[in-house]
Amino acid sequence: MIDLLDNLLSSKIDEEKLEKIYSHLTGLYTNGKDPWGLDIDTAKATISKLYPFYSEYFKVRLFGKDKALDRPYMVVSNHTGQVPIDAMLIGMAFALEIAPPRILRAMIDRFVTSLPFLGEWFAQTGAVLGDRQNCSKLMERGNSILVFPEGVQGVAKSTNEFYKLQKFTNGFYRLALSSGFDILPVAVIGCEECFPFVYHLKSLAKTLGLPAIPLSTNYFPLPSPVDIHIGDPISINKDLSPDATDKEINKEVLKVKSKIRSLITRGRKDQREFWAKKER
């Protein structure tokens, strides 16, 4: 524990590398900003502050970084943990470890956009209200999108459902068809262990109009080592139109789901012990 704290406090991001990454990213957006509220300077400051957590606390390992080529993708991932820190870690991995770096535009619930301070901060770091129109406009501008087709069901899972993929919605596939983007499957291993599940207060969530209220023993994540696995890009079925029937679309969605499932199975085999030290 002392080692962990020591590493956390002493870990610093390579400022020169960060500067290079963000000068590249600033060039992609006019004045480093966009209409959805992205602010490259804030995103940079956030990554710089959160880097010790990424590197030393969650000891993130990224596998398959060469699978992401220099083009925009619809990044599709499993959703894990009671608090969705997986989005933050995937976003950091794509900004810091993949060439060329990119800001993944994660889709968030309207409840989050209504939160004081947090809503603005999420927007500044690249998150966007989950809406089909937002998504397609961002894709038109060449942004890679991060989606969790399991939605809230993915983060409010009980312990016996950890790493079991929930039902996928199919909207992401229709959007990929409209934009022509390939799908990049991603599996996150380690986030489920960050928040031991106690109970899901479904009726209270419904009463309060919140997407979910999963009870956990803690709301600051435990230092579980996290692995992010990127699979081979999946080409969209060009014979399908974005207005194809649900039956036709769901067939393709199942292929994506099955790819993520196999990434999870492989990832679980290589998963580190909870107290594993960082590989140096």
Partner 1 sequence: MDLENVSSILIIGMAGNLAKITAKEIHGKNPNIKIIGVDSRKVPRSLSKLNVKFHQINYTRSHFERLFREHKFDVVLFLGRYAHVGLNILSMLTDSLDTKISGIKNIFDLCVKFKVKRIVVLSSFHVYGALPGNPLFLLEDTPLKADFKYPDIRDVVEMDKMARLWVDKHKAVETVILRPCSIVGPHIQNAITKYLTTPYAPIPMDFNPNFQFLHETDMADIILKAIDKLPPDTYNVAPDEYVTIRDAMKIVGNPTLPVPLFLIEPMAKILKKTLFKIPEYFISYLKFPCIIDNSNLHKALGDLNFRYNIKETLKYLK
Indicate whether 132 belongs to the interface with partner 1 (CB under 8 A): yes
For partner 1, give the closer residue by CB, 32 or 233. 32
State the angle between helix axes of 2-10 and 40-52 in degrees (0 to 180), rounded to the nearest 10: 150
Closest CA to 161 of 84, 83, 80, 85: 80
CA 96 – CA 100 distance, rounded (Å): 9
Indicate whether 120 belongs to the interface with partner 1 (CB under 8 A): yes
Strand segments, DSSP code E, in 194-275 are: 197-200, 214-216, 227-230
Quote the DSSP letter at residue 57: I
145, two tokens:
């999108």
Cβ at position 266, least distance to partner 1 in Å: 36
Binding piece for partner 1, criterion CB under 8 A, among 33-41, 59-67, 180-188, 265-273: 33-41
Give the distance, in angstroms, between the CA of residue 128 and the centroid of all CA atoms in the same chain: 12
Given 40, 74, 129, 253, the residue binding partner 1 (CB under 8 A): 129
Given 2, 10, 70, 117, the residue binding partner 1 (CB under 8 A): 117
For residues 191-230, which are near partner 1 according to CB under 8 A? none
Indicate whether 142 belongs to the interface with partner 1 (CB under 8 A): no
Secondary structure of 181-211 as H, E, C letters: CEEEEEEEECCHHHCCEEEECHHHHHHHCCC
Which phi and psi (to 5°) does residue 53 adopt? -70, -40
Given 10, 133, 160, 203, the residue binding partner 1 (CB under 8 A): 133
Given 2, 116, 247, 279, the residue binding partner 1 (CB under 8 A): 116
Indicate whether 119 belongs to the interface with partner 1 (CB under 8 A): yes
Indicate whether 37 belongs to the interface with partner 1 (CB under 8 A): yes
Given 4, 29, 48, 137, the residue binding partner 1 (CB under 8 A): 137
For partner 1, give the closer residue by CB, 97 or 120. 120
Total residues interacting with partner 1, rule: CB under 8 A: 17
Cβ at position 46, least distance to partner 1 in Å: 15
Quote the DSSP letter at residue 140: H
Residues contacting residue 13 through CB under 8 Å, at least 6 positions apart = 47, 48, 51, 55
Burial bucket for residue 137 (CB in 10 Å: 0-12, 13-18, 19+)? middle
Indicate whether 41 belongs to the interface with partner 1 (CB under 8 A): no
CA 78 – CA 173 distance, rounded (Å): 15
Per-residue mark of binding to partner 1, 55-94 (x: CB under 8 A): ----------------------------------------
Binding piece for partner 1, criterion CB under 8 A, among 97-105, 132-140, 211-219, 247-255: 132-140
Catalog residues that contact partner 1 under the rule CB under 8 A: 35-37, 110-111, 113-114, 116-117, 119-120, 129, 131-134, 137
